[in-house]
Structure 1
Amino acid sequence: MTSAPNFRDGLLAEIPSLRAFAMSLCGKSDRADDLVQETLVKAWAAQLSFTPGTNLRAWLFTILRNVYFGELRKRKREVEDVDGVYAATLSVSGEQDARVDFKDFEKALAQLSPDQREVLTLIGASGFSYEEAAEICGVAVGTIKSRLNRARAKLTDLLSIEAVADIGPEPVSRAVISRSSSLPSV
């Protein structure tokens, strides 16, 4: 195990090299300083995973590189919306409706037979194929399909679903959401 003073001294000695590498990656001194700081914090937190006698510089450069590219990937998923125009077009239905709907679903699910509930969970929630579910349950594929069909029909009946439009927000909320998404951009 590396003693903290030796590890700390090694970190401090590598700061200039880390900063130069960070500058080569991002080209901005303030951003490079942030990358170096984040690297040092991560390295300090993970110092027990560092093997003494191995290349500390390579280990630190790997951490810095991972931090840099991780942040780049994260920024690619973000949408820049300086004036809030994009955010103004977004709307979300009330959370309370979803909770009530989910409670209703839980109650209906509990009313299914254990076999139907198992198949619905395996295929509908866990994403198994009919064949995989049949193997897990130890029954024929046709039995799985039959149980699933009966489970879906029973849930539809218990939840009073007559059409696909009955799933999701109620009509007033749906109208508000569609109205706000069709407003012209400012």
Structure 2
Amino acid sequence: MDNSDDLKSLNEELNFVYRYLRKLKISHEDAEDIVQETAYKFLQYYDSIRTPKIRSWLIRVAINFHYDQFRKNSRVKLDLREDQVKTLSKDLPEEILISYEHWSEIECILSKLKPTYREVLLLKYKWELKYDEIAKILDLKVNTIKTFLARARKEFAKLYREVYK
């Protein structure tokens, strides 16, 4: 990647990725770190990337990196001191554990879905993106996204009933 036009193009694409991450309500510092890691991976694998649509590749790498970081940082820690526990309502720690267990159940079922279905469900319901935004990220038509979401919801419900009924 020696051409200055290629570097300018990469810089524009990375700026788009940064703006997209900020739209997802990712903090400025985290978005910068994610973009830096994405740029590093792009430069590292530049020769093996075969897609003409670099933007979608960069966004996918950035989102995957964010998911990985989120998973690492979202472990539940209940190391409260006794005086802190007394000030909390009695059911608050239980609510925390229940919501964590509920999310664990959802992640378990999501892991059994096809990657495309898992991805559209997460983008729609976790990140609360609109159909056209999801279509742009995944480089698919809006109607295809709607179809995938309908199928993904149906498959998710089927797996949920099998596992937790």
> How would you bin the TM-score normalised by the shorter chain?
0.3 to 0.5
> If each structure's helix is expressed as a fraction of its own residues, which one has the higher value?
2
TM-score by length of 1: 0.37
Larger radius of gyration: 1
